[in-house]
Chain A
Amino acid sequence: MDPMAAIRDTFFQECEEQLAELETGLLAMEAGDLDPELINGVFRAVHSIKGGAGAFNLEALVRFAHVFETALDELRAGRLAPRPEIIKLLLRATDVLADHVRAARDGAEADTEHSQAMIEELRTLGPEGADDGQAADEIDGLDFQPIALQPEPAVARSAWTVFFRPRADLYAKANESARLLRELASLGATLTTLDAAALPDLDALDAEATYLAWTIELATEADEATIRAVFEFVDGDCELEVTSAGADSPQAAPDLDIAALIAKAQSQAATPVDTAPAISEARRAPVAAPAPSSAPEQPAGPAAGGTIRVDLERVDRLIDLVGELVINQAMLSQRVMEAGLTRVSGVAMGLDELEQLTREIQDSVMAIRAQPVKSVFQRMPRLVREVAAQTGKAVRLVTEGETTEVDKTVIERLADPLTHMIRNAIDHGLESPARREAAGKAAEGVVRLAAAHRSGRVVIEVGDDGGGIDRVRVKQIAADRGLIAADAPLSDDEIDNLIFLPGFSTASEVSDISGRGVGMDVVRRSIQALGGRISIASRPGQGSTFTLSLPLTLAVLDGMVVSVEGQTLVAPITAIVETLQPKAQDVHALGGGAQVINIRETYVPLIDVGQALGYRRQPLAAGAGVALLIEGEGGARAALLVDAIQGQRQVVIKSLEANYRQVPGVAAATILGDGRVALILDLDTIVAVSRGDQRKAG
């Protein structure tokens, strides 16, 4: 890749990080945190974006960032109080800045009208007379004058006399007279005279003091400003006089042989330049003792706490390979068993260690793909602001557990469902401020977004403190749409779950916000596609909470290996509460072939997996086989009947959809140690389908 293109990518990545920091900082300030370092961090974020943008000539971005920065500088200097309305304005400015960054990244035009309006608003915060002309100045205001190294004979040269006497401060700041004289010589022909009158005897010489002065006769076509620019860095640290000696000096005769002049000038310049370092070397000698060449050749770059960026494909390839390794290792274990070696033999013990190592490698590789959910969560404050503005509702977003880590792919695919759910929570969940006040609640609604690790899965909750699900209306709508029978006796829980049905949408007209043609059924499907589950809990007057439960990784799974009608199947172990051998007297038949089992005085549906997947027509005889008691999302339990349990094993997930097609009741497939393919059960679907069958049959 072109290095500049790569740096450009880095810049936009960094911009995203800085935007996030900016937003986080402003939100913390909004919550009352006024730590100066926080304000500095906020300022630096915008400052850095401006700096980088300037390097890529992104003028619209620079201009906006400059105005934004000026306003933040007021805040930083304490000239502007961080009142809530100011912070809100700055948050909106952050959104506009984000638009600018993305427009610049995609080479698109930012919304100039919107941006200009925001610039006007920000200017009201800034000091008097601040305008974005300043920004333009900074882009064009190069401090270095072009220096003509090849004088063109056509331009008239004029003669100058430059008197230069450095002060000790000049050297203390690591400037060097010799270099300045050399710069001057590059402007034209010089005749340099050293004034060493002040130089004391060696024993009286102070290595830190200055004793020398130079008078330089310069013939150049450069103007006075250019000559003075040579001494720009040492302004104030030296005596400097630049006087014009008139245009008609003999050295400046237009018909002079320029090449000879330059050669002469260089040889002339070399002499005094050689004497100059005498003093600087003298004062440097004790300092420069450790020769730079003796420094070990360290790799350039940030030395501490390094991170590297790796192509995702490489990580995935590694994960694939580790998956194959796991399979191969399982295969090897099986061969050892078949060869009749005992568990205590050296080979078997070595294999145990190999298994452990393999597992550790697998965990470590998975950890590479894990990322904090923050990257998705941090997009939400903006969404909340926008939806709140569109609906006229007052909303506060509370996020928890942002550092919870999940597989990168899971995070990426979470963005859309979460966006939709938060839109819903504000649009449908929260009431208008007036209605909230009438109900005795704070006018400002709260939307809560939380993530946590729970028993090997990631649980994400999206909650609101709104009115809760209007069950009468939901049931009515479902009946109107023909999704349920009008008189269906449904529990509250079942009514709440109606919103997940395809074709259900509570908004009577498709609103601008939650509409967009997708409903909760789409959300549910995308969560399921990730191996996740979604459930809802709602309390009238107190709000609703959606709970997503997702696997940490999409690549491996702890499974219970079971057999059904000679087939080997894998059930995800996370869903299994316990296993039991059903006794014939505990199993009761309901109508339509449905069965329930009595487990410690509660009845749960008993589903024969063989029958559900079509491996057999008749259910297992009562009392035969093993039942897996599983708990679905929302706590509903069911018992799945299989023929036998083979064991517990970590399996590598191979997508069935990618390699074959989607099969109801089957989540994915895996390869076992003996090389055979085993299907991984989708327990929730099996339960749902069997219930559906029962309902239809009933």
Chain B
Amino acid sequence: MSLTVLTVDDSRTIREMLRLTLVDAGYRVVQAEDGVHGLEVLSGEAPDVIVTDINMPRLDGFGFIEEVRGDPRHRAVPILVLTTESDAEKKNRARMAGATGWIVKPFNPAKLVDAIRRVAA
């Protein structure tokens, strides 16, 4: 049974890259386009890992993580934040919100899969 990864990102390009990379690495991938959509997907899915962007319309990554951590069904799911910012402030905010770890964009497949493996293999 391969692990399921939920990716939440408003950029189609990044979504497709995540899908390609993760499917190649043997994960089952479900995707959402923003935080609100992510929560909708979560109502019917139980992913093993969530990878989310921060800057998104409707509900951003911080808000999305808080919602997930507040949901008894999903609060123990590792959440990795995709971020282009390498500055500590963004990471801290993500961690305050309950993120498990982060992946700095641009990511290469090895980096992404390694980060997922670190939190959920």
Contact = CB atoms under 8 A, between A and B. Distances in A.
A266 to B, nearest CB: 16
A1 interface: no
Interface residues of A, number: 56
B118 A179 contact: yes
B31 interface: yes
A298 interface: yes
A55 B106 contact: yes
Interface stretch (A301-309, A452-460, A577-585, A641-649): A301-309
A4 B77 CA distance: 29
Given A41-B57, A54-B106, A138-B104, A48 B76 contact: no
Nearest to A175: B100
B78 interface: yes
A290 interface: yes
B78 A7 contact: no
B40 A303 contact: yes
Given A14-B13, A233-B119, A295-B46, A50 B72 contact: no
A203 interface: no
A272 interface: no
Nearest to A280: B76
Given A287-B75, A304-B37, A52 B14 contact: yes
B51 interface: no
A48 B11 contact: yes
A53 to B, nearest CB: 8
Interface string B83-118: 011100000000100111111111100010011001
Contacts of B69: 172-173
Given A51-B14, A141-B86, A304-B40, A176 B104 contact: no
Contacts of A57: 106
B100 A287 contact: no
Contacts of A293: 1
B77 A174 contact: yes
Contacts of B28: 300
Q: Counting chain B CB atoms within 10 Å of each CB, which of A37, A57, A144 scores highest?
A: A144
Interface residues of B, number: 59
Given A142-B111, A183-B118, A174 B105 contact: no
A41 B10 CA distance: 11
Given A14-B11, A44-B10, A300 B30 contact: yes
A138 B84 contact: yes
Interface in A138-178: 138-139, 141-144, 171-176
Nearest to A233: B101
A7 B114 CA distance: 22
Given A7-B13, A232-B101, A300-B31, A137 B86 contact: yes
Given A54-B106, A179-B118, A292-B4, A284 B76 contact: yes
Contacts of A236: 95
Interface string A232-257: 11001000000000000000000000
A313 to B, nearest CB: 22
A288 interface: yes
Most buried by A among B12, B98, B106: B106
Interface string A657-690: 0000000000000000000000000000000000
A11 B13 contact: yes
B78 to A, nearest CB: 4
A44 B84 contact: no
Nearest to B95: A173
Interface in B6-49: 10-17, 19-20, 23, 28-33, 37, 40-41, 44-48
B62 to A, nearest CB: 13
Q: What 3 pairs between A and B have smallest CB-CB spacing?
A: A54-B106, A233-B101, A11-B13
Interface of A: 3-4, 6-7, 10-11, 13-14, 37, 40-41, 43-44, 47-48, 50-52, 54-57, 137-139, 141-144, 171-176, 179, 183, 232-233, 236, 283-284, 287-288, 290-293, 295-296, 298, 300-304
Given A174-B75, A292-B4, 16 more contacts: A7-B17, A44-B10, A48-B11, A55-B106, A141-B86, A173-B95, A173-B98, A174-B78, A233-B101, A284-B76, A290-B73, A291-B46, A293-B1, A298-B44, A302-B31, A302-B32
Interface of B: 1, 4, 10-17, 19-20, 23, 28-33, 37, 40-41, 44-48, 55-57, 69, 72-73, 75-79, 84-86, 95, 98-107, 111, 114-115, 118-121
7 contacts: A41-B57, A44-B56, A173-B98, A298-B30, A300-B19, A302-B31, A304-B37
